[in-house]
């Protein structure tokens, strides 16, 4: 029996959307006020979904306490109260759009999960804008 377990978490961070190899004008043309050089920020809400078989012994797909800890260590500690562009090595040359942040988070959590578990992440940048990614 395959089920999906979901766990929510959040982090607050600053970012700006821009490419170093573009002029400020080009960045503003494409990314608008999101390219503000002084940064802006968000309360990112994250939902992590893990799909697998129920363990008949425990009744768990995976222990949500372990998933909570994994999200804390892989996402909340490194991302919370940080400037994504300036302080996260993953975004040194990668534009921190919601899409790219979701892919980075997915890759970090994927490495820590057992192979037989499927992973999907949903990332809210604002209550009205969000993205979902389930790998390739």
Interface residues toward a copy of itself, by CB under 8 A: 1-10, 12-15, 17, 19, 30-34, 36, 38-43, 49, 54, 57-61, 63-65, 80-83, 86-87, 94-100, 102-103, 126-133, 136
Assigned token pair, 136? 């390739």
Question: Vertex 111, ends 12 and 70: CA angle to 5°?
Answer: 45
User: Which of the residues are catalytic?
Assistant: 34, 81, 125
Give min distance, CB of 15 to a copy of itself, in A: 7
Give min distance, CB of 90 to a copy of itself, in A: 12
Give min distance, CB of 34 to a copy of itself, in A: 6
Nearer to a copy of itself, 93 or 115 (CB): 93
Nearer to a copy of itself, 2 or 115 (CB): 2
């Amino acid at each position: 029996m395959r089920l999906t377990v979901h766990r929510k978490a959040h982090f607050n961070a600053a970012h700006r959307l821009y490419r170093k190899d573009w002029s400020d004008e080009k960045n503003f043309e494409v990314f608008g006020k999101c390219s503000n050089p002084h940064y802006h920020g968000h309360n990112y809400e994250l939902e992590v979904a893990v799909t697998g078989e129920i363990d008949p012994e425990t009744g768990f797909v995976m222990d949500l306490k372990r998933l909570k800890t994994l999200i804390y260590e892989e996402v909340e500690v490194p991302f919370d109260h940080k400037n994504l562009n300036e302080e996260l090595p993953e975004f040194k040359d990668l534009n921190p759009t919601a899409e790219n942040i979701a892919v980075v988070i997915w890759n970090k959590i994927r490495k820590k999960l057992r192979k037989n578990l499927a992973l999907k992440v949903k990332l809210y940048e604002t209550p009205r804008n969000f993205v979902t990614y389930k790998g390739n």
